[in-house]
Each structure stands twice: as C-alpha cells, then as structure tokens.
Structure 1
Amino acid sequence: MNQHFPKDQTTLRVAVIRARWHADIVDQCAAAFEAELAALGGFAVEVFD
C-alpha cells in the first residue's frame, strides 16, 4: 500500500461493519477489536450493522 497516514493518531477513524449472521460471534470479535483500539488510544471507532 502506498497510503500515508498522519502521525497524529487522534485524527484516525476506524469503521467496523458487522454482519448479523452469527451475530454472537461477530459481536464478540467487534467488542475485542474496539477494546484493543481503546487500549492503544487515539482511535475513534464507529460501528455499523
């Protein structure tokens, strides 16, 4: 990839698009992903179903 991202992580936004098939598994994965980004800090997460 040749994309360049700003060094300032406060500007980074991440979208999580969840499928409703196997919702229990997908919800757990999305929650773990959001928790990891929260631990890293500086990410704004939006979740779409």
Structure 2
Amino acid sequence: MLMIILASLLHSFDWSIPKGEKHDLTEMFSIALKKRKPLIAIPSQRLKDVSLYM
C-alpha cells in the first residue's frame, strides 16, 4: 500500500525546491548516513481537475 501512495503522490504533483536554494548533497556521518541539510520539496498541482486530488 505504501508503494501505491508514494506513486500517486509522485504522479499527481510536480515537485520543486524553493527558489534561490540549491540541493545540498553533503552528508553527515553517524550510524546511518543523513543529509547535512534536509531536503524541502514544494508540491504543485499537475492535473487540472481538482476532483482527482480528493
């Protein structure tokens, strides 16, 4: 079910990063590798029909 929800979110929205920011690929070392700065993604509607999002 998680795969279907993720696929639906990826398909239904266009994703972008905030204006003026660059995607930082540096990592912080600990038990698990983490991004030094978390990724912030902004969704915007891709489909015209709003009823498809409900």
Query: What TM-score does the superposition give when structure 2 sets the normalisation length?
Result: 0.27
Greater Rg by CA: 2
